[in-house]
Amino acid sequence: MLTVAGLLLTTPVWAQNPTPAAAPSAAGDSSGMPPEWDSKIPLPKGATLISSTVPKTGVVHSADFSAPGSYDELVSFYEKELPKAGFTMGPKVAAPARKVYNRTFNASQIMDSVLISPSSSDPSKLTIHIAYTPLKKQ
Task: Give strand pairing partners of 116.
Answer: 101, 128
How confident is the model over 57-89, as pLDDT tens digits?
A: 888 999 999 988 999 999 999 999 999 999 999
Q: Where are the domains of the chain?
A: 2-132
Task: Give strand pairing partners of 82.
Answer: none
Residue 18 has pLDDT above 70, yes or no: no
Q: Chain centroid to CA 44: how far?
A: 11
Quote the CA–CA distance of 36 and 34 in Å, as a whole number.
Answer: 6
Residue 20 has pLDDT above 90, yes or no: no
Q: Which of 2-6, 16-20, 83-87, 95-99 is least confident?
A: 16-20
DSSP strands (E only) in 22-109: 48-53, 61-66, 88-95, 100-107
Quote the CA–CA distance of 16 and 99 in Å, as a whole number.
Answer: 22
User: How many Cβ atoms are within 10 Å of 50's Cβ, its own excluded?
Assistant: 18
Quote the CA–CA distance of 88 and 20 in Å, as a whole number.
Answer: 30
